[in-house]
Amino acid sequence: MSSIKRFLFGLVLVLSLLGLVLVRGVGSRSQKPSATVPVEVNSSSMVENEKASGVSSEEIQLKEPPSPPVAVESGKWLIAVYLTQRRLYLYNGSQLMSSYEVAIGKQDSPTPVDRWQISEKIVNPGPGTQFGTRWMRINSSNPATGAYERTDYGIHGTDEEDKIGTPVSAGCVRMRNQDIEAVFDLVPLGTAVVTLP
């Protein structure tokens, strides 16, 4: 991308963010920013700016969100996956601990946008599988019952680390093996996961 396009895109993004902050009153010292602002700003600004700048969303790498997209109790872990960014963010309470580039679902088998919960963790899920060295099953939330239902989706490693950053999976979130191993060791069963546009 040319330096002029990068500059114009950055300018449009900053002006969009500034406009949202002023309209919502988030800039006021007496008002605490909503935890959902990064999600709304990231998804809507990216679509608007993609049209305005002619830059595709695949070329856009936004900075880490400053706060989790949903409320998290102090001391609890949260995994947030921003599909357009192809990035997984790991939070402990409201503090961002780390972020990782990931692979997501293909166009014909996209990673669903949902609320999830880690329900199973497996070390070395099997030789010759595409799951790499770690597998964490994520169960989907059912808004009607409030319960989590078993799925075949997961966050796992891969034997094809060169494909990280691309839409290649059957809907799962793939990570480099060293990255999934770090996350796997930190988060317990029951950890909340959200996948966002």
Which residues are bridge partners to 90 per DSSP? 79, 98
pLDDT in tens, 91-144: 999 999 999 999 999 999 999 999 999 999 999 997 777 899 999 999 999 888
Active-site annotation holder among 55, 60, 90, 172: 172
Q: Which of 30-44, 119-133, 143-157 has the lowest mean pLDDT?
A: 30-44
Handedness of CA 142, 184, 66, 85 (dihedral sign): negative
Mean pLDDT across the stretch 20-29?
32
144 in catalytic set? no
Residue 48 has a pLDDT of: 36
pLDDT at 149 over 60: yes
pLDDT in tens, 64-76: 556 889 988 999 9
6 in catalytic set? no
Burial of 184 (0-12, 13-18, 19+ CB in 10 A): buried
Q: Which of 3-7, 26-30, 115-119, 185-189 has the lowest mean pLDDT?
A: 26-30
Band of residue 173 on the pLDDT scale cut at 50, 70, 90: very high
Could you give the CA distance from residue 110 to residue 104 in angstroms, rounded to a whole number? 7
Is residue 37 within 8 A of residue 44, CB to CB? The reply is no
Angle (CA) 161 81 76, round 5°: 115
Could you give the CA distance from residue 159 to residue 176 in angstroms, rounded to a whole number? 8
The domain ranges of the chain are 1-61, 64-197
Regarding the domain delimited by 64-197, which CATH topology (the fold level of the hierarchy) does it fall under?
L,D-transpeptidase catalytic domain-like (2.40.440)
Owner of token pair 């166009």: 107
Active-site annotation holder among 87, 121, 156, 176: 156
